[in-house]
């Protein structure tokens, strides 16, 4: 855990955040600035600053195996997942997180 990381505080329930999913490795919650009708974040409970810090396939598995479970719970079958890594890629919180968005049509490239 990083003591100044907002997502660590959320994962450790130090901040009042309603989880839409939780297991022993990850939590998911709605994005505060949604870019689609459905927009939630999936974060590991363990702190990794970015995708570049993850060295085990288990960590990726924990995150990405939760997403279909959450999608099924929410009744969505089609969605976009986004992982921003680094400032120039749009990462603003330096605790790896996956954006999951649905409920509208998406274009490519994302922009």
pLDDT at 2: 67
Higher pLDDT among residues 4 and 31, named by residue: 31
Domain with residue 78: its CATH number is 3.30.428.10
Residue 62: is the preceding peptide bond cis (ω within 30°)? no
Residue 19 lies in a domain: yes
Does 109 map to a domain? no
In a domain? residue 21: yes
pTM for the full predicted model: 0.94
Clarify whether 47 is annotated catalytic: no
The token pair that represents 85 in the structure block: 């890594």
Q: Is 86 helix (H, G, I), strand (E, B) or coil?
A: coil
Higher pLDDT: 4 or 95? It is 95
- The predicted pLDDT at position 111 comes to 64
pLDDT per position as a tens digit, 52-106: 999 888 889 999 999 999 999 999 999 999 999 999 999 999 999 999 999 999 9
What per-residue confidence (pLDDT) applies to 56?
Answer: 85
Is 108 inside any structural domain? no
If one counts the domains in the chain, the total is: 1
- The answer to whether residue 36 is domain-embedded is yes
Residue 33 in any domain: the answer is: yes
pLDDT digits (tens, 9 = 90+) for 26-58: 999 999 999 999 999 999 999 999 999 998 888
Range of the domain at 69: 6-102
Helix (H, G, I), strand (E, B) or coil at 27: strand
Q: Exactly one of 39, 47, 95, 97 is catalytic; which is it?
A: 97
């Amino acid at each position: 855990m990083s003591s100044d990381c907002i997502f660590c505080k959320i994962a450790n329930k130090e901040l009042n955040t309603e989880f839409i999913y939780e297991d022993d490795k990850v939590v998911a919650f709605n994005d505060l600035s949604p870019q689609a009708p459905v927009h939630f974040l999936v974060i590991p409970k363990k702190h990794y600053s970015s995708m570049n810090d993850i060295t085990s396939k288990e960590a990726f598995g924990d995150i990405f195996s939760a997403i279909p479970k959450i999608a099924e719970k929410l009744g969505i079958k089609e969605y976009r997942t986004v992982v921003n890594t680094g400032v120039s890629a749009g990462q603003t919180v330096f605790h790896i997180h996956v954006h999951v968005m649905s409920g509208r049509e998406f274009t490519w490239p994302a922009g």
